[in-house]
Structure 1
Amino acid sequence: MGDILHSLTTELRRGSLTLAVLSQLKSPQYGYSLVQRLEDHGLKIDQSTLYPLLRRLEKQKVVTSSWDTSESRPRKYYVLSLYGEEIFHELKIQWEKTTQELNVLLKGEENNEDD
């Protein structure tokens, strides 16, 4: 059960991580600050997961990036593009709709267990 549960949990988290990352990019964030913000809210994400996700979102024009070289260590900052703001808004609506539908189904399961 452990391997299958781990695999299914990973699959379940994959989509939700995208939404979580987008929710934090209303203001510019660099990779480490993004990891910290997510962890502060109880959502652990490895940098090996985050950076490929950010690159994919940038390629899809959902986020834009820019380098800040004003400090001794250059940092690449990511932020939602205008298109990304629209995508985030629509994804959030879909997430809320899906969550409501799943909650109904899961409550139904609990009620069926009482039978």
Structure 2
Amino acid sequence: MLEHCVLALLQDDERYGYDLVTELSEAGLLASEGTIYPLLSRLRKEELVRTSWQESPSGPPRRYYSLTDRGRSALADFTTSWTDFRTSVDHILLGRGTR
């Protein structure tokens, strides 16, 4: 799930890794630098995200991540699957499961 949350955070704007860690943590998801950076590396290798280096006003350059077309497609596929899954689980949790 974390992978797709990262893709969702990148859908509108590029971000650097620590920014992603902060936003995911604020949303209540377990996210540490030790979790996010390997995930971002894997997403880059799978060509779901691209990277660029940008100067930082407060230190060394930062690596920014943005979605590729392939990443947008993966996010769209997941969003459809998640919606169907959530609907099914809600149906059962609300006591409308079939017997």
Distance, in Å, in 1 between the alignment partners of 2:43 and 2:52 is 14
TM-score norm. by structure 2 comes to: 0.84
Structure number, greater radius of gyration? 1
Q: Which residue of 2 aligns with 1:48?
A: 34
Query: More relative contact order in 1 or in 2 (CA 8 Å, sep 6+)?
Result: 2
Aligned residue runs from structure 1 range 21-40, under 5 A: 21-26=6-11, 27-40=13-26
Q: Specify every segment of 5 or more residues in structure 1 that has no aligned partner in the other structure, as ranges.
A: 1-15
- CA shift, 1:107, in A, is 2.9
| TM-score (normalizing by structure 1) | 0.73
2:2 equivalent to 1:17? yes
Of 67, 73, 97, the match for 1:80: 67
Q: Give the share of equivalent positions with the same residue, in percent.
A: 34
- RMSD, aligned CA: 2.0
Greater fraction of residues in strand:
2
Structure in which a larger fraction of residues adopt helix = 1
| SS of corresponding position for 1:73 | strand
Greater alpha carbon shift after TM alignment, 65-74 vs 76-85: 65-74
For structure 2, the 5+ residue unaligned runs are: none
Number of aligned residue pairs:
96
CA contact (8 A) 2:56 2:62 kept: no
For residues 32 and 19 of structure 2, the distance between their equivalents in structure 1, rounded to whole angstroms, comes to: 12
